[in-house]
Structure 1
Amino acid sequence: MRIPRRRFLSSTLALAAAGTLSRSTILSALEDQTTPTEAELAKDPRRPQYHLLPARNWMNDPNGPIYWRGKYHMFFQYNPHAAVWGDMHWNHAVSADMIHWRHLPIALAPTPGGPDADGCFTGTAVVNNGVPTLIYTGVKTVPKSESTLDDGHNIYRETQLYATSSDPMLGSWTKRPTPVIPAPPPSLKVTGFRDPAPWREPSLAGGQWLMAVGSGIQHQSGMLLLYKSPDLQNWEYLHPLLGGSKTGGSASNPVDSGDMWECPDVFPLGNKHVVIYSTQGKALWKVGQIDPNELVFHEEQSGVLDHGSFYAPKTQLDKSGNRILWGWIPESRPEAEYHAAGWSGLMSLPRQLTLGPDGRLRIAIVPQADKLRKHEQKLSLNPAKDGSKELEASARIHDACAELQCTVIPGADGNFAPFSLDLVNTASRTTAPTTPTDAGSDATPTTSPTSILSIRYSHANPKELVVDQARLPLNLTAGQPLDLRFFIDGSVIELIACNQAAFTKRFYYPGQSAPEIAISITGDIKAIQRLSLWPLNPISQDRLTS
């Protein structure tokens, strides 16, 4: 959990901890604040139309996504009181296809006096002997000497908790009153202890469970702690599954320095194991093997899951056994703005993970997203200006709700000509005249469009795609096209490049309507094999995902 997820009225909560204000008084005050009405939320053009997010307030990490009895259930971190982090609950939504969602009541809430009294943090859902089961982190305010989390804003003891459900819709859960893991290993002075990720390991006799817990050692490195259990309730600590190199970091929040790894997930994929975790603002992956005797992970390949606004991912199996990745897409605007807007954060589109022939992770938006498409528009390109090398597509993106696909093929020599693609906000940006004018003249201010997203690719650097300031690694085989898929929705763009790299971008604009977005390309027009635009259908009538 990065600092922005816990910067929730810390001074006010400190008063509550000191007994100056009660927790109920604070939450009541939050609920009494002036917030946008439902009608105002529904009209906000920056709210996505086909991504999952709550009707209002703050959301972050995906929690325990699971396919159960013909439905996909998504739980996620949620503050029911305001559009800022705090008072973590597990909100709940259900879907038949991972695309169209219906909100259900909150599934997990803090238990007063319990080990999760100050928040139900991130965790995992599994099915154990036919019973849906949650393993999650609960937090409770404690003296500093007893804490496992101290990031300069909160002082919590983190424990690993257990809950089961007999509800066919997974709406109600029975919590075990005591933690299944009450403390980290006493030999380690950890920088955090949270976000448990259990999985059943086929190599273990009797189908025992293994579990990774996010942790780290200050001024040393982040790491994942490995536990073993026969029943999800009795856990034995083994050793670190893997860890990083010495960071020498000094940030008040150890996640920012890399001294703490959070939100782990471990799963088999093909004949390998994949480990994912989040730290220093990025979600990272590693592919390798878990030694069946030593139970230590041996890395073979590694990378970044998404080079943009994407964090704290979690995976699940779909009904066909495919590995599906979800991630939290946070806001990149100031807290005051999203607090005033009344909502913050959204869930990524579901992404299917596979292994490529080079052993690296492959990522693709699930084919179910194609159901959102309206009619395909095959775009032509025309010079933006007379004599200009810049080409503009024959149609624009309206209402910031569309999918765009651009496929570029290499030349006869196997190389790509220099290529660029920009998504451009066509709303005029007014600037002062560039030359002095006499007082009282009728000088007209100049206007220019603004870039939303910029793509650059060249044979000079054939193994990377430059997106804004990020460099996405690509490994194209001979003759393989450069294939770009963009999903534009309200204030977010998800880009998947050649099913090898991803980049998520937040973009904002003033006013009560989304600007038209133009598609500008520079390159060899003969190399563009496909340029298609699909307007997409919203998943609800009012942007409230209900």
Structure 2
Amino acid sequence: MQIKHLTDHHRTAYHFQAPSNWMNDPNGLVQWKGNYHLFYQYHPHGPLFGKIHWGHAMSADLLHWTHLPIALSPTDGGPDEDGCWSGCMVNNQGTATIVYSGNAHGRQLPCVATSQDEDLRTWHKYAGNPVVADWPAELDIVEFRDHCVWQEGEMWYQVIGSGFKGVGGAALLYRSPDLLQWEYLQPLCVGNKDESGIMWECPDFFPLGDKHVLTVSSIPDGLVYYFIGTYQNATFTPESQGLLDGGKHFYAPQSIRDDQGRRLMFGWLREGRDDTDLLQAGWAGAMSLPRILSLQSGDTLAIEPAPEIEQLRLRRRTVEPRSITDQQTVVEQLFTNALEITLDIDSHTATGCGLVLRDSAYPEESISISLRETGLSIEANNGRTRQEPEQYPLAPGRHTLRIFLDGSVLEVFIDARACLTERFYHSAPRRLSLDLFARDGEAILHQLDVWEMATIWQ
């Protein structure tokens, strides 16, 4: 990691980031021979989006990551000469196999690469790439890229992100006996352009409980939607849908089932600043915390941070239960912006309640997390420009929030069933304090714990 980044307070202490330069989508997420491998979209020559490679990191514990050499690079004159775009990895009878989108001349087509290495350092591209020469001629589609691949019996299946002109986003279903010869079957799912966008990127399809889940990243609204339903005989029937994250900074997630039987997911956390700032910083992008997905009663999605994160907890501050009226400072003398906060609060008779993080060295800066009659709202104010609040619909009453503040990243898990992600760019932390507040009535604090968090970087 470049030394100039180590003192950048906008970088993260316990979220994964590339050593430098641009990163975006998680790719090829896998647990292989005892280690987690995280590949990701990476531009090694600058902090802006460019000719994309596959970065690579490995971890034994989901916390501490070893940066490994670049896994895939564009090949001059090849079907990926303009970039090795997003894809996934599968185990094909002991051979690690990547299916990714090769970008050339403005079109993206499926390509394959394999590795025989113990730690997946060296990859060999299939000489016959692309393995799908074109999208089906009979389809009037807007785009065609990104892959989710799985096996059923002796057949392989994949969905590719797409969209039908004038209709909406789509996930197109293919099958193959060998990962090389692919037959188009039908759309696995088609959306409504007014509800979930005109194009679906980065589809992810997987069993969860007794159902199946499809997640898609939507253009142009930049949100991630999920569909829960039944899957049988290559047919998916959606029964419910929702937002995977209420914020526009979480995008392009990918998941795996790990050896503990958990559905484990990472997503790309997009920046919220302009190119001039990125060029000055020398880096862009972070990964979300690893999230665990499960199915609740009533076929609703549950989302929680992986429990491994708790191993990073250091000094703890606890605030006793109490009644809250107006605004009161409850925690002071925090000298880091790497924190975990658990807040169990009931709005009771108040029209709004929540917490505010402030820094005495920069009184014009604040982060407010509010429970209002209209829902949960996150508002970051840097004293210069006021960001549009991130909001999530939520009924008044008692709620538990797990709040992860890390550099310029804020992830808020809501009642273990939703998440809201924000990016913000405040001054370097000096002396943070935490206030609780209630407006126009009384709120009841049931629990408040604050932990300073350890860094995962050496």
Q: TM-score scaled by structure 2? A: 0.91
Match of 1:209 among 149, 156, 164: 156
Report the Cα offset of residue 333 of structure 1.
0.8
Structure 1 position 400 matched with structure 2 position 341? no
Inter-CA distance 475–367: structure 2 relative to 1 (3 Å threshold)? farther
Report the Cα offset of residue 332 of structure 1.
0.2
Structure 1 position 517 matched with structure 2 position 432? yes
Question: Whole-Å Cα distance in 2 between the matches of residues 72 and 192 of structure 1?
Answer: 31
SS in 1 for 2:308: helix
Question: Whole-Å Cα distance in 1 between the matches of residues 402 and 436 of structure 2?
Answer: 15
* Deviation by residue 1:200-251 (Cα, 9 ceiling, x = unmatched): 24xxxx3422211001123331111111112211211011111112459xxx
**Which position in structure 2 is the counterpart of 1:197?**
148
Structure 1 position 496 matched with structure 2 position 447? no
Report the Cα offset of residue 514 of structure 1.
2.1
**Which position in structure 1 is the counterpart of 2:256?**
316
Structure 1 position 172 matched with structure 2 position 119? no
**Which position in structure 2 is the counterpart of 1:296?**
235
Question: Whole-Å Cα distance in 2 between the matches of residues 314 and 335 of structure 1?
Answer: 26
* Deviation by residue 1:256-296 (Cα, 9 ceiling, x = unmatched): x9221101000000000000010121111111112x23x33
Question: Whole-Å Cα distance in 2 between the matches of residues 158 and 515 of structure 1?
Answer: 47
| Kept in 2: contact 1:324–1:350 (CA 8 A) | yes
Structure 1 position 372 matched with structure 2 position 305? no
**Which position in structure 1 is the counterpart of 2:451?**
534
Match of 2:86 among 122, 133, 144: 122
Inter-CA distance 403–113: structure 2 relative to 1 (3 Å threshold)? same
**Which position in structure 2 is the counterpart of 1:159?**
109
**Which position in structure 2 is the counterpart of 1:265?**
204
Report the Cα offset of residue 382 of structure 1.
9.5
Question: Whole-Å Cα distance in 2 between the matches of residues 453 and 504 of structure 1?
Answer: 13
Match of 1:452 among 367, 389, 392: 367
Question: Whole-Å Cα distance in 1 between the matches of residues 29 and 399 of structure 2?
Answer: 32
The letter of the residue matching 2:241 is S
Question: Whole-Å Cα distance in 1 between the matches of residues 193 and 79 of structure 2?
Answer: 32
Report the Cα offset of residue 134 of structure 1.
0.6
Question: Whole-Å Cα distance in 2 between the matches of residues 383 and 300 of structure 1?
Answer: 42
Question: Whole-Å Cα distance in 1 between the matches of residues 97 and 343 of structure 2?
Answer: 43
Report the Cα offset of residue 520 of structure 1.
1.9
RMSD: 2.4
| Kept in 1: contact 2:278–2:284 (CA 8 A) | yes
The letter of the residue matching 1:322 is R
* Deviation by residue 1:111-162 (Cα, 9 ceiling, x = unmatched): 1111111100000111121221111100111xxxxxxxxxxxxxx1211011
Report the Cα offset of residue 199 of structure 1.
1.5
Report the Cα offset of residue 525 of structure 1.
7.7
Report the Cα offset of residue 471 of structure 1.
3.7
Structure 1 position 487 matched with structure 2 position 400? no
* Structure 1: unaligned runs, 5 residues or longer: 1-36, 142-155, 249-256, 430-447, 542-546
SS in 2 for 1:303: strand
Report the Cα offset of residue 456 of structure 1.
1.6
**Which position in structure 1 is the counterpart of 2:181?**
234
Structure 1 position 340 matched with structure 2 position 280? yes
Question: Whole-Å Cα distance in 2 between the matches of residues 301 and 219 of structure 1?
Answer: 23
| Kept in 2: contact 1:428–1:449 (CA 8 A) | no
Q: Which runs of structure 1 show a deviation greater than 6 angstroms over 4 or more consecutive aligned residues?
A: 381-384
Question: Whole-Å Cα distance in 1 between the matches of residues 345 and 229 of structure 2?
Answer: 32
Structure 1 position 134 matched with structure 2 position 98? yes
Match of 2:228 among 262, 287, 290: 287
| Kept in 1: contact 2:356–2:436 (CA 8 A) | no
Q: Of Structure 1 and Structure 2, which has the larger fraction of its residues in helix?
A: 1
SS in 2 for 1:394: strand
| Kept in 2: contact 1:421–1:519 (CA 8 A) | no
| Kept in 1: contact 2:322–2:444 (CA 8 A) | no
Structure 1 position 472 matched with structure 2 position 402? no
Question: Whole-Å Cα distance in 2 between the matches of residues 487 and 195 of structure 1?
Answer: 30
Report the Cα offset of residue 453 of structure 1.
3.2
| Kept in 2: contact 1:425–1:515 (CA 8 A) | no
| Kept in 2: contact 1:381–1:391 (CA 8 A) | no
Report the Cα offset of residue 428 of structure 1.
5.4
Question: Whole-Å Cα distance in 2 between the matches of residues 66 and 423 of structure 1?
Answer: 38
Question: Whole-Å Cα distance in 2 between the matches of residues 380 and 525 of structure 1?
Answer: 16
Pairwise mapping of residues 420-439 of structure 1 onto structure 2 (< 5 A)?
420-427=353-360
Inter-CA distance 423–114: structure 2 relative to 1 (3 Å threshold)? same
SS in 1 for 2:371: strand
Q: TM-score scaled by structure 1? A: 0.77
| Kept in 1: contact 2:323–2:444 (CA 8 A) | no
Structure 1 position 184 matched with structure 2 position 139? no
The letter of the residue matching 2:336 is D
Name the count of aligned residue pairs. Answer: 443
Match of 1:331 among 271, 274, 278: 271
Q: Of Structure 1 and Structure 2, which has the larger fraction of its residues in strand?
A: 2
The letter of the residue matching 1:420 is C
* Deviation by residue 1:442-487 (Cα, 9 ceiling, x = unmatched): xxxxxx54332332245xx6xx4344444424589xxx95110011
Report the Cα offset of residue 190 of structure 1.
2.1
| Kept in 1: contact 2:360–2:433 (CA 8 A) | no
Question: Whole-Å Cα distance in 1 between the matches of residues 442 and 340 of structure 2?
Answer: 21
Question: Whole-Å Cα distance in 1 between the matches of residues 416 and 323 of structure 2?
Answer: 30
The letter of the residue matching 1:175 is K
SS in 2 for 1:527: strand
